[in-house]
Amino acid sequence: MNKYILGMGLLLSVGLCGAEPGPDPVNTQSVAAPATPKPAPKAFPHISWRSENGDASFDLGGALRTNWRDEHWDTSENNTRWLFDTLRFDVKGTYKKAFLDINYWFYDLNKRSIDRGYAGYNFTSQSNLQVGLPFKPFGLEPYPQFGWSYHIPFFMGYGVSDGLGAKYSYKDADWDVQLGYFPRMAPNGTRYSSEISRYADVKNNAVAFTQSRQDNEKRNQLNARVARTFNSGSWKTEIGASMAASQLYNDTTDGNGSYWAAGLHTVINHGPWTATAEAIRYEYDPKNPDGVSKDSVLMGGNGLTPAYLIASKATLAALNIGYDIYTPNLGRLKKIKFYNDYSRMMKDKSGWDDSQMYTVGVQLFALPVMAWVDLTWAKNANPYGGAENGTGWTSTSSVGSNEWYYRTNVNIGYYF
């Protein structure tokens, strides 16, 4: 119970004060985010076309990014290495009230992903329907942190997570209401963020000894997100709630377990300051065969990150603070954002220690070039060497458990 109180308390304290691929900075602002200057025309080789009567349009843009890492744990090979990050193509089109939006990513190791890809129809200027692979509405959108380095909610599936289905969206100056139905999750080979997976679907990037009997997948997931924006002088605050629920089908037993999650979230802006926070409670109740523990479930994606086990029941909390400095007299450098991101995972099972991540960094806006410099500390977090046998999101029973590790990350991208 104390863990639940801590998670909700972190969220409420911010509200009462008034206050692996990396993220895509395009169209990422929340309703409560500060206003920014009108963007300049896109750089070469962006392609843009508009019909004379305005009924149709087409845009082809994207980004090319590189990454430098210095990771301080024994099992890492990324010590002071420059790496190719991603080549991304963004395709957008409209025809009268219909529209199309696809983001397709290419990585090294012949990996690729789709963070969103859907066709839609605008009922009004405020409401639309999206069909295909839209984002599943839940929590802070679309990213649960400011920095380039993703945080715990993302690794649990609560950020930039799409699903195969449909979403209705209504947004005006005050309200943001989204409802989604997803009969199936996004295909493993093209997932941008991880999702519950069967071992058979991720076995080329999994550990058979500990994961081979994991055989669960979500089906018929329902999502809902409702947020309200309040304005008071120079303060702008968004307060919202989210829920998700689905069947948890086990292919071995042919039985349906259950999954649900609920969250509270807020975005608060005052001048150059922005604070975001969320608390999430989730529970998986799988119908596993005899001898397979219900204490953990398997997460998998497109292979960029090895498949990993997470605690079946946990409470998540996140708090992020950003400060913007506009620099109109520094040439192409128009804005600098300083940020602090913190997230924590509190697991139900006795003896399973908390996971934590903390990032301090700066983002530089010099379009068409954008850069992040992150310094991240993490404890009991799989991507950060905190548990060398991959148990960071569960039992943390290995060399490196309950120790802080850190990584310096620099990401530079050309956006067109």
Is residue 39 predicted with pLDDT exceeding 70?
A: no
Is residue 89 predicted with pLDDT exceeding 50?
A: yes
Q: Which two tokens stand for residue 279?
A: 């608390």
Is residue 313 predicted with pLDDT exceeding 80?
A: yes
Cα separation of 62 and 105, whole Å? 9
Q: Which two tokens stand for residue 44?
A: 């070469």
Structural domain that includes position 212: 2-62+84-318+331-339
Q: Is residue 394 included in any domain, yes or no?
A: no
State the pLDDT at residue 51: 97
Task: List Cβ neighbours of 9 (8 Å cut-off, separation of 6 or more).
Answer: none
Percent above pLDDT 90 for the chain: 80
Closest CA to 134 of 98, 105, 169: 169
- Averaged pLDDT for residues 132-152: 96
Cα separation of 358 and 315, whole Å? 17
Cα separation of 90 and 102, whole Å? 6
Tell me the torsion sign for CA atoms 28, 34, 40, 43.
Answer: negative
Using CA atoms, how far residue 361 sits from 21, 243, 384, in Å, is: 17, 31, 17
Q: Which two tokens stand for residue 180?
A: 């989604």
Is residue 11 predicted with pLDDT exceeding 60?
A: no
Q: Is residue 375 included in any domain, yes or no?
A: no
Q: Is residue 276 included in any domain, yes or no?
A: yes
Q: Is residue 41 included in any domain, yes or no?
A: yes
Q: Is residue 213 included in any domain, yes or no?
A: yes
State the pLDDT at residue 397: 85
Q: Is residue 390 included in any domain, yes or no?
A: no
195-196, strands of its sheet edge to edge: 195-196, 296-300, 308-311
Q: How many domains are contained in the chain?
A: 1
State the pLDDT at residue 371: 98
> To the nearest 10°, the Cα dihedral for 225, 231, 237, 243?
-10
Average pLDDT, the chain: 91
Q: How confident is the model at residue 76 (pLDDT cuts 50, 70, 90)?
A: confident
Q: Is residue 102 included in any domain, yes or no?
A: yes
Q: How confident is the model at residue 37 (pLDDT cuts 50, 70, 90)?
A: very low
Cα separation of 80 and 66, whole Å? 13
Integer-rounded Cα radius of gyration of the chain:
21
User: Among 99-108, 289-298, 328-337, 398-407, whose mean pLDDT is lowest?
Assistant: 398-407
Q: How confident is the model at residue 15 (pLDDT cuts 50, 70, 90)?
A: very low
Q: Is residue 155 included in any domain, yes or no?
A: yes
Quote the pTM value: 0.91
Is residue 9 predicted with pLDDT exceeding 90?
A: no
Cα separation of 168 and 161, whole Å? 16
State the pLDDT at residue 73: 81
Q: What is the pLDDT of residues 275-312, one digit of tens each?
A: 999 999 999 999 999 999 999 999 999 988 889 999 99
Residue 167's φ and ψ, nearest 5 degrees, are -140, 135
What's the first-to-final CA gap in the chain, in angstroms?
Answer: 49
Amino acid occupying residue 232: S
Q: How confident is the model at residue 23 (pLDDT cuts 50, 70, 90)?
A: confident
Q: What is the pLDDT of residues 376-397, one digit of tens each?
A: 999 999 888 766 777 899 998 8
